[in-house]
Structure 1
Amino acid sequence: MRNVSANTRKLTTLAMLAALAIVLVALIHFPLVPAAPFLEYDPADIPIFIGTFLFGPAAGLALTAVVCVIQGVTVSAASGPIGIIMHFLATGTFVLLAGNLYRAHRTRKAALLGLAAGTLAMTAVMCVCNLVFTPLFMGSPVGEVVKLLLPAIIPFNLAKAAINSVITYLVYKPISRLVFGEKEPAAS
């Protein structure tokens, strides 16, 4: 019976985090880098990062997939399948790296290391994704995208991931206590 209760809590929490991510991207989105106003910050990854730290990288990756698809067919429909793929690759990379680093130790230091590594990895993945997918989506030559890497794409992705990481770091422990009580489960 205890296992059913834990599974129900996990599924309910993940569903609420997915819904929160969609609401956040619908309500909060604005340009961060003047050189590329089409690159908009949104806090939708914060609930995904929290879900990853709460339940591990596999749950975080599943949450990423659900949010990417729902977001991609609703509030971000203009970006179509390419937007869904890019979001999944970027956030999925972050989730797998940060989630595995945090799962191994479940300390503040491991959380910081995971968030920092995830930020750098997400930025690198988005550089590659923009070089591959932006020419397809926007019809611009790869050379034009390359020109945007240093003044716009890299700073934007570093800033977005860093902001979301800092907020995740600040709110994770109180949310963890709410979900699990005083003590979160040991690393699995």
Structure 2
Amino acid sequence: MKIKTKQLTQMAVLAAMSILLVYLIHFPIFPAAPFLEYDPADIPIFIGAFMFGPLGGLILTAVVCVLQGVTVSSASGIIGILMHFFATGSFVLVAGNIYKRNRTRKGAIIGLALGTVTMTITMALWNIAITPIFLGIPVEAVLPMIIPVIIPFNLIKAGINSVITFVVYKSVSKVLGLEIQEAKVAESK
């Protein structure tokens, strides 16, 4: 029970960090789509996926999406919550699974890279389906934005957040007390 309480506390800290980051840092990258804003809020979630695996990352994603959607990003409502969940959830499932199987620097790089590609493809498809509803425009108005705006936006956002995650993961996991847990996992294999 102590381990579960510790993990719950660690996840709560990561969720709080995510909400704080989106509150402090968010800005549009492409003037043609000001509703697509960069924010570093996924970094703590990506760290959580590495710490707790894909399921833990997905749970953290769901909690953060709802909390963010009813507080700092409430203007986008349920559509914003769903789009955030689809984007980040697709990333953490892929990256978390890869890193869970190969807890090395190479595994982290491969997981982050494939997570970025997965998120980009996922969001290209979801933007075709959801953006017309969100903006009240026809699908035909969204399609011309896929290649020049939506795909680059998701590559940039996920890419930047992946690089930062790679750089800070070990430091953050040490602060949260994970290095002891990882050492025990390595010894038991």
Name the CA distance, whole Å, in 1 between partners of 2:70 and 2:89.
18
How many residues are aligned here? Answer: 185
Could you tell me how far 1:182 is from its partner in structure 2?
Answer: 5.5
Name the CA distance, whole Å, in 2 between partners of 1:49 and 1:9.
18
Matched, 1:100 2:101: no
Could you tell me how far 1:34 is from its partner in structure 2?
Answer: 3.2
Give 1:1-188 correspondences, 5 Å limit: 4-178=1-175, 179-181=177-179, 184=182, 185-186=184-185
Q: Secondary structure at the match of 2:185?
A: coil
Which 10-residue stretch deviates more, 158-167 or 28-37?
28-37
Name the CA distance, whole Å, in 2 between partners of 1:165 and 1:186.
24
In structure 1, stretches of 5+ residues that fail to align are: none
Could you tell me how far 1:38 is from its partner in structure 2?
Answer: 2.4
Deviations 1:53-107 (A, max 9, x none): 0111111000000000011111111111111111111111100000000000101
Name the CA distance, whole Å, in 1 between partners of 2:17 and 2:179.
21
TM-score by length of 2: 0.93
With over 3 angstroms needed to count, the CA separation of the structure-2 counterparts of 1:183 and 1:71, relative to structure 1, is closer
Q: Secondary structure at the match of 1:89?
A: helix
TM-score by length of 1: 0.94
In the alignment, is the contact (CA less than 8 A) between 1:35 and 1:151 conserved in 2?
Answer: no
Name the CA distance, whole Å, in 1 between partners of 2:83 and 2:36.
13
Deviations 1:29-71 (A, max 9, x none): 0111233222110000000000110111111000000000011
